[in-house]
Amino acid sequence: MTRRSISKRAAVVTAAAVVTVGTVAVGVSLAGPQSAGNRPTQKQIASLFDDWNAALQTGDSARVADLYTQDAVLLPTVSNEVRTDRAGIVDYFDHFQQGKPVGKKVQTIVKVLDRNSAIDTGVYAFSLTDPKTGKERVVEARYTYEYEKIDGEWLITNHHSSAMPEG
């Protein structure tokens, strides 16, 4: 090998190494740090129920529906109809809110899947007031909320609620 071909080969290898390092560095900076600080805590996800419960207690079904994605699926407790769009979700809550529901978690299990998705599942109890008699009753149900962070906001993508079978 001549001195010139050795220099040329060294220049090519050096350039390739610089491009590789630069590409890796750019990829890391675009991806952002993968630290636990970007992931929500279990407590943060569990507290999303409090926001939902507060919206429910306003009596404004549209406000409750705002907490769901446009294509969310709601398998509600007191309806046999699966709700798969905003209009269906609003309709369900129009009827459900007539009982002035107040929810309280009995047991919760949160799984943070990644920084943009999580599942909250467990048991909750609702105090409901019969609009005709004023009599109050408590209904326990199993629940699952699947959350997705979209444009910085946690929204419900799937919500399943069913009365306890032995309750």
Q: What is the pLDDT of residue 38?
A: 87
Q: Specify whether the CB–CB gap between 145 and 121 falls below 8 A.
A: yes
Q: What is the pLDDT of residue 29?
A: 36
Q: What is the pLDDT of residue 50?
A: 97
Nearest residue to 79 via CA among 67, 66, 92, 91? 92
Nearest residue to 126 via CA among 95, 97, 155? 97
Q: What is the pLDDT of residue 60?
A: 97
Rounded-to-integer distance, Cα 145 and Cα 64, Å: 14
Phi first, then psi: what are they for 166, rounded to 5°? -105, 15
Rounded-to-integer distance, Cα 3 and Cα 9, Å: 10
- Quick one: which H or E segment has residue 47? helix 42-57
Q: What is the pLDDT of residue 55?
A: 97
User: In which residue ranges of the chain is pLDDT below 50?
Assistant: 10-35
Rounded-to-integer distance, Cα 119 and Cα 140, Å: 19
Rounded-to-integer distance, Cα 15 and Cα 144, Å: 54
- Quick one: which H or E segment has residue 9? helix 3-31
What's the length of the chain?
167
